[in-house]
Amino acid sequence: MTAKYPLESAYTRIDRDLKRHIATTRKLLMQPSSSQQDLGIRECAELVAEMYESAGCDDVGIIPTKGNPVVYGSCKGASDKTLMAYFMYDTMPFNEPGWSHPPMKAQMVDMKLPAGKVKAIVNRGADNTKGPLAAFLSSVEACNKSVGRPPVNLLLVAEGEEELGSPNLPVYVKKDKKRLSKADACYFPYFGQDSNGRCNLYLGVKGVVYFELECSGKRWGRGPQEFAIHSSNKAWVDSPVWRLVHALKTMTSDDGNTVLIDGFYDDVAPPSAEDGEIIAEAAKRFDPEATKDALKIQRFVISEDDRAALIRAFTYTSTLNIDGIWGGWIEKGSKTVLPHKATCKIDIRVVPDQKKSAMMPLVRKHLDRHGYGDIKMTEVDTGYDWCRCSVREPVVQAVIRSFEDFMERPIVWPTSGGSVPFYVFKRFMGLPFTMGGIGHGGLAHSPNEYMVVEGNKKIAGLAQIEKFMVHFMNEFAQTA
């Protein structure tokens, strides 16, 4: 057991440096790093490396991979415990319509949330997850500048391909296993409060698979072959667009919510006893209204009256989602064409005990069996498997205690709906993991993505978020 860590010194430093921390956060957000579009990746990796250095880390390096580089760093801590912090420095694209503020200017705006008035930064990546990354590095910096070291040894791994399915993370982790194997647990900084201030902790993540289906006259042997032709020919020529529509319709129920692919749900495990308790507990406190407000939706697929059912739906449902669909003339006006192909993008979220690798073959078999053998299926990113961690793990308990000390006991969810490549650390190195923290952000993958910087009684501001992170590291240092 190490000597008691002087948390207050670090907290004072955070308060003193807050303005600079906000400036650093804004600088990181304003640096584009859209991996889908290969935009600003190298520059962002270099900026993250600089931030590691400024935070007082050692061994800082930009490690090349076959794709985007990993930014590595380490930091000696005040205890024997070693925490690996996993970050992503890439973001989704930011060229969609609907932004009320410029997507890359990190403007500070007044915002009225169900939890009350706050000030927030609006920018792509603010919530997901360059905001939490910057906050964590600021908290490390404050520790180093005040106490001299953080409460635990740190290994920092920032990847730039999370939004591409982290194709090169496993390769990197295998290669750098010697250094990384010193870690006792993995942590992914994340804003865990919802818009009315409720704290949420996710024990795991779903896996994800992403592919395209293309129906072309060329492969079909019917319809236009190389280009769209005059639509008058529909009278005697087949349509690849209609074919894609009819192929897709076989894959879900009329409401689009139940997947009709044979075997799709076969490996879905029922909630464990532990999960049953967790869900029952979560159902007591989960507020569907806050989620509806955050997503700006009017209703869920199922009734809100049964909150446990709603939570089960969110955490246990494996989904087949159409992310995009296109074909033919999609600009203004009335170009009359019979298109030669139509394409859609699909993601499948994978839950325990489904296997990521089984999903595309199931879709392929379904298409073949329904006579759509010609429809081309292309993996767009490698995706990854689901990953879960028990609520009893020390690192999870440390984050729960931190929530309680700073805000309230979090609502614990068996998984988030989203995906993070924890499987890499858990499968290759047997590391337990947790994700989260206080603070609030929203509209990940949507226009007007934001993170709260000046909070109120219910929602943490940036200083409090950073203090939480120091506190969490200290709690983890004291675990058995």
- Per-residue binder mask for its own copies (CB under 8 A), 222-261, x = binder: xxxxxxxxxxxxxxxxxx-xxx-xx-xx--x-xxxx----
Asked if residue 33 lies in contact with residue 41, where contact means CB atoms within 8 angstroms, the answer is: yes
Q: Which residues pair with 120 in a beta bridge?
A: 109, 452
Identity of the residue numbered 403: F
Q: Of how many residues is the chain composed?
A: 480
Asked if residue 94 lies in contact with residue 34, where contact means CB atoms within 8 angstroms, the answer is: yes
d(CA 252, CA 154): 46
Complex with its own copies: residue 72 or 413, whichever CB lies closer: 413
Count of other CB atoms within 10 angstroms of residue 183: 24
Asked if residue 417 lies in contact with residue 377, where contact means CB atoms within 8 angstroms, the answer is: no
Joined together, the tokens standing for residue 210 give 């992403």
* Torsion sign over Cα 389, 394, 398, 401: positive
Counting contacts by CB under 8 A, is residue 263 touching its own copies? no
Q: Integer distance in angstroms from the first to the last C-alpha of the chain?
A: 9
Complex with its own copies: residue 27 or 218, whichever CB lies closer: 218
Counting contacts by CB under 8 A, is residue 406 touching its own copies? no
Counting contacts by CB under 8 A, is residue 39 touching its own copies? no
We find the least distance from the C-beta atom of residue 96 to its own copies, in angstroms, to be 7
Complex with its own copies: residue 148 or 221, whichever CB lies closer: 221
Contact region for its own copies (CB under 8 A) — 66-74, 171-179, 342-350, 355-363?
342-350
Counting contacts by CB under 8 A, is residue 221 touching its own copies? yes
- CB-side neighbour CA atoms (13 Å) of 336: 5
Helix (H, G, I), strand (E, B) or coil at 264: coil
Asked if residue 22 lies in contact with residue 131, where contact means CB atoms within 8 angstroms, the answer is: no
Counting contacts by CB under 8 A, is residue 7 touching its own copies? no
Q: Which residues pair with 313 in a beta bridge?
A: none
Whole-angstrom CA distances from 16 to 136, 138, 299 are 16, 12, 44
Complex with its own copies: residue 88 or 477, whichever CB lies closer: 88
Whole-angstrom CA distances from 341 to 51, 326, 368 are 47, 9, 18
Binding to its own copies (CB under 8 A): which residues in 425-454?
443-448
Binding to its own copies (CB under 8 A): which residues in 381-400?
381
Complex with its own copies: residue 114 or 418, whichever CB lies closer: 418
Complex with its own copies: residue 9 or 319, whichever CB lies closer: 319
Complex with its own copies: residue 144 or 382, whichever CB lies closer: 382
We find the least distance from the C-beta atom of residue 111 to its own copies, in angstroms, to be 16
Considering just the CA atoms, what is the radius of gyration of the chain in Å?
24
- The residue within the footprint of its own copies, chosen from 53, 59, 96, 353 (CB under 8 A), is 96
Binding to its own copies (CB under 8 A): which residues in 123-162?
none
Binding to its own copies (CB under 8 A): which residues in 347-366?
347, 349
Q: How many residues bind its own copies (CB under 8 A)?
A: 95
Counting contacts by CB under 8 A, is residue 380 touching its own copies? yes
d(CA 250, CA 254): 9
CA 379 from centre of chain: 19
Counting contacts by CB under 8 A, is residue 339 touching its own copies? yes
Identity of the residue numbered 105: K
Complex with its own copies: residue 117 or 249, whichever CB lies closer: 249
Binding to its own copies (CB under 8 A): which residues in 449-478?
none
Counting contacts by CB under 8 A, is residue 66 touching its own copies? no
Counting contacts by CB under 8 A, is residue 267 touching its own copies? no
Joined together, the tokens standing for residue 145 give 């500048």
- Per-residue binder mask for its own copies (CB under 8 A), 292-321, x = binder: ---xxxxxxxx-------x--xxx-x-xxx
Counting contacts by CB under 8 A, is residue 328 touching its own copies? yes
Counting contacts by CB under 8 A, is residue 164 touching its own copies? yes
- The residue within the footprint of its own copies, chosen from 76, 175, 219, 345 (CB under 8 A), is 345
